[in-house]
């Protein structure tokens, strides 16, 4: 994990820590942001990596273990995941489903509610256009969070999910998704 530090002070009413998770078996992106008085800042981002030679079951255990440690360290109030996937390849869909299941169960065990956002909504929330390219989304993540450099793509996607959630939590209540 790449760590950027975090305040040790107790959360205030207007403060919220949000974890975004771009789930995959081999390279899950993670990003924790803080919303305080309307400002968003990056707390931490990184990747949970599993090498191609690592057995599938060990990848799932690594994902669970590393995410549980991150949840304990970062203490997010909510998690944001990408939802609404369609795959032609059933094997790929099943593998992603297993990884998502591990992530959702790990968050639930830690008492962190999970919200899902459609990919187009995430892009629209950050760029104003649901069909935006990944490079446009990455530029907005860097700009919104005041980062010095662009994180790895999976971590950027995770941060984008967290930003999307932060924006929807301050929006109209009717637009807020229900936790899964």
Task: Please report the pLDDT score of residue 14 as a whole number.
Answer: 60
Task: Please report the pLDDT score of residue 78 as a whole number.
Answer: 97
What's the total number of domains in the chain?
A: 1
The answer, yes or no, to whether residue 6 has pLDDT greater than 70, is no
Evaluate whether residue 4 is within a structural domain: no
Task: Please report the pLDDT score of residue 3 as a whole number.
Answer: 35
Evaluate whether residue 6 is within a structural domain: no
Evaluate whether residue 152 is within a structural domain: yes
Evaluate whether residue 8 is within a structural domain: no
Which residues lie closer than 8 Å to 145 by C-beta, 6 or more apart?
A: 33, 40, 41, 42, 159, 163
Q: Is the Cβ–Cβ distance between 64 and 106 less than 8 Å? A: yes
When pLDDT is averaged across residues 42-52 and rounded to a whole number, the result is: 97
When pLDDT is averaged across residues 34-60 and rounded to a whole number, the result is: 95
Active site residues: 22, 82, 154
Evaluate whether residue 84 is within a structural domain: yes
Evaluate whether residue 3 is within a structural domain: no
Evaluate whether residue 2 is within a structural domain: no
| pLDDT tier, 1 (very low <50, low <70, confident <90, very high otherwise) | very low
Task: Please report the pLDDT score of residue 180 as a whole number.
Answer: 62
Task: Please report the pLDDT score of residue 143 as a whole number.
Answer: 97
Task: Please report the pLDDT score of residue 15 as a whole number.
Answer: 85
102-106, 135-139, 165-169: range with lowest mean pLDDT? 165-169
Q: Which two tokens stand for residue 96?
A: 């992603």
| pLDDT tier, 55 (very low <50, low <70, confident <90, very high otherwise) | very high
Residue 155 region by backbone torsions, left for phi larger than 0, else alpha for psi between -120 and 50, else beta? alpha
Looking at the chain, the whole-number percentage of residues with pLDDT higher than 70 is: 84
**Between residues 163 and 14, the one the model is more confident about:** 163
Domain boundaries, position 83? 14-174
Query: The sheet that has 2-3: what strands, in order across it?
Result: 2-3, 39-49, 27-36, 15-22, 78-82, 114-117
**What CATH number has the domain bearing residue 86?**
3.30.420.10
Phi, psi (degrees; rounded to nearest 5) at 62: -60, -45
* Cα(62)–Cα(59) distance, integer angstroms: 5
Beta-strand ranges (E) seen in 50-95 are: 78-82
Evaluate whether residue 32 is within a structural domain: yes
């Amino acid at each position: 994990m790449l760590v950027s530090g975090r305040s040790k002070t107790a959360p205030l009413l207007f403060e919220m820590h949000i974890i975004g998770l771009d789930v995959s078996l081999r390279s899950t992106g993670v990003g924790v942001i803080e919303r305080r008085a309307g400002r968003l800042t990056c707390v931490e981002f990184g990747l949970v990596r599993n090498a191609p030679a690592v057995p599938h079951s060990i990848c799932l255990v690594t994902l669970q273990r590393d995410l549980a440690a991150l949840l304990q360290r970062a203490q997010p109030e909510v998690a944001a995941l990408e939802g609404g996937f369609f795959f032609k390849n059933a094997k790929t869909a099943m593998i992603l489903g297993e990884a998502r299941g591990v992530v959702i169960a790990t968050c639930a065990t830690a008492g962190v509610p999970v919200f899902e956002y459609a990919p187009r909504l995430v892009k629209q929330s950050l760029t104003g256009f649901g069909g935006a390219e990944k490079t446009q989304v990455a530029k907005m993540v860097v700009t919104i969070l005041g980062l010095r450099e662009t994180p790895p793509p999976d971590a950027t996607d995770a941060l984008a999910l967290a930003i999307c959630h932060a924006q929807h939590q301050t929006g109209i209540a009717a637009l807020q998704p229900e936790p899964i």
